[in-house]
Every structure is written in structure tokens, then in C-alpha cells.
Structure 1
């Protein structure tokens, strides 16, 4: 029963595929109703949740536009009347050497990967604090710890997400709202396709992972359900590494 999410509503961003889709499906499998936010009109996640008998509503929105987030959040609340769980997953990555990284690429990444996380957390936090309970789960990264290569904006944003997770926990944990993060390791998604296509780099990364494989989106189902459920009620400000042991080596 600790992991049962029946009666809960989860707002998940970036659900058109990959990690967001898998986490939305995992939360639905645990009993939560899902509000899925995506910049596209892809119905695959909606179809997958409904195929298992789950409840889901989809909202199409560009979360990088800060001035629209309040109305987007209000629409999300109206779907099922409340938000118990927020999963800040939406994000982009722009690859270019730091000396050539354009101002637009930098700003696009920061607007979506960091600014939207804060503003949505703020909106959800107010909603949850009024009710005295809630779970916010941010998606961090191995680049919340490391520097990466040719991704300065992404690295900066993910370091900031880890710090924001701790800052919000310090303010809200004593008022019934838990804020934690998941830091996925190397996962096979569209974002990592350029690395997978580089045979030498793909092999060097795989050789370092103790689990001897890259993760899949389904590997995040259990961790997100755990952090969304009563099983994690005494966890606050924690970044949970789901990396096959990458950081241990």
C-alpha cells in the first residue's frame, strides 16, 4: 500500500516520448490520474495510459514561455480538480563547443530546463502548501555532478535543478511537501542518439557502467513511483541516482 497512488493526480511534463512517457505510464500503473504536458500533439502516451485503464488528459504547451505557465497550471488543475504530484521532466539539449555556443541555444535551454522547473514548482508548491501535502520530483542528470562535453547550457541547467531541489525542500519539507529529484544515468532516448551513434564514445561509456548496459525509460518507472508515494515521505532534498552504477566507478 505504500506505493499505491490511487486517488492521486500527477502532472508530468515532457510526455511525448522517452523518459516522460515512461514515468507517466508508471504513475498510471500505480493508480494515479495523469495530466500530461507536451509541446507536441503526440497521442502515444495517452493511448498507452488508456490501454491499461488509466485516466489521462493531455495539454499541449510550450513551457519555455514563462508568461503562459500560470494558465497552463490552472488548466492542469481543472482536469481532475487538484495536483498531488508534479514531475518536472521537460527539457532540451543543445550541443556545441562552449566557444561556439550561441546565446540563443544557451537561453533556450535555461528557459525550459531551469526556469520552467522553478515556475511550475512555485505554482504547484502554492497549491500543495494550501492542502498540506504534495510531491515534486525534478529530473536532474549525471551532468548535475559532471561537466559533460559540448553541452555547457545543459550542464548549467542540471546543476541548478539539483540545487533548486534542495532549496525548495528546505522551505517546504516541514509543511508537508516533499521535493526530490531523479538523476538518470545514460539512457537510450532521442537526446542521447548522437552519442549512441558515435561507436567509440558509446563503447567507452558502456564500459564504465557497472550494470554493463545503458538504461531504458522503463528503468525510471519504479523510482518515480517511489518518490511520488508515501514510501518516500521522509525523503527531502535528495537527488536519487538511477545510473547503473556510473557514479560509483
Structure 2
């Protein structure tokens, strides 16, 4: 597990947020799936917002948007200079869709699209550092970008965040590249999949027991694939009641004994 008490280093996934058309239904679903409790508030724009908590610590955000249509979770990268990073995004061929702008005293944010069409955010934390707990059941484990043509994305993120790119010897038949910060820490990866359709960041949440979590998701009104074993986790794809797909997985070293 990992408890986060300060701003993460530049280029680290630091917050995740989902726009939903019915906040109460979303809270019920993700509460049933992950055991989240919530803090709720109204944003300056008048929207209802809920922060999912694990052990009283911030794990993710749910934002009510009446016309939300089941889009993916937005993953925010940490930055020490939101405006400077936004400029690097534009210089590298991406587009800034919104911001940079201050969010109360919480921090400064922007939302952008990379060179393969995948959306992501920037977060310069102040009072709100982002996820306060990760890498334990009910929280974010990792984000991987999946794209039909991954080459431009690899060049883009290396230019913006200074990542190094490493292959994955555990999956020699997969077009996968690890993304590592300049200090060598792995923050995620980029996978090439010609059948992927639109490019996007896929969000993986940890669970203690994948099969049990699948059952909870279905009982709460979602759908799920059959769990499958991979090199690293036993995982399944879960679709929430709004059509948003996530991946859940139990690490081999954390799974209940059978």
C-alpha cells in the first residue's frame, strides 16, 4: 500500500476523476464495488462532486455532469508548474482543452489531448495533493495508454515529461513500453493494439479478490468479463451503469489463499 501526504513528482499519475450523469447512482455503484465512503460538495460552477474515500483518505473523484455519456476516467499527471507543462504539451503537438485554471485553493489544473487523441489532465496540488492512498484494494494501481499507433504517443510523453521508454521482457509478444520518470520510477506504460479503436488511458484499480469484486459489480448494476490470469494480476474488465469500462485486478502476492 502507499499513503500519499505531499505532491507527487512531475509526471506521476496523481488523481483520477469520472464525469457521471447521475452522481447518486455512481456513488452507490462504486461504493458497492470498492467500499468507498464519500465526501460531497458543490463546485463553484454549481456541479455536485463526490470524493471516494478509502480509510478516510481520498482515492478518486466523481463529478456530476448531466450530459456525461460514459466516457473514460480522466487521469491527472502531477506537475510543479501547470502553465509550463501546458506549454510543453502544445509545443509537442498536443492540445490544451481547458485551463490552466485554479480550483479554489485545492490546486491548478488543465485538461489536454495528446498526439493520438487520448485525454489526460495536469494537477499542480496545493491544499489537495491528489490521491492520498494508492496501491491497495479500492484504489488506483496504474494507468496504461492503449493506442492503435503508439509511436507518436511515446515521443509526445517523453518530450513533455522527460520519461524514458523501456520494453517489457515479461511480455515479448506484446507491443508494450514502460514509461519511467527521470529518477527511474515506473509510472505506467503505452501499449500498441491495432484493434483498440480510439486511443485512451486505461485505469486499473486494485481489489483483494477479483472474482468477488466481479460479483459485486454485477449485483450493483454493472457488467463484467470473466476474470483472467495475467503475468502480474488476476484481472477483469468491469463496465459501470453509465458505460465506463475499468480494469480491476488482484496482485498475485495479495490474493486470498485458495
Superposition TM-score, scaled by structure 2 size = 0.29
More strand by share: 2
More helix by share: 1
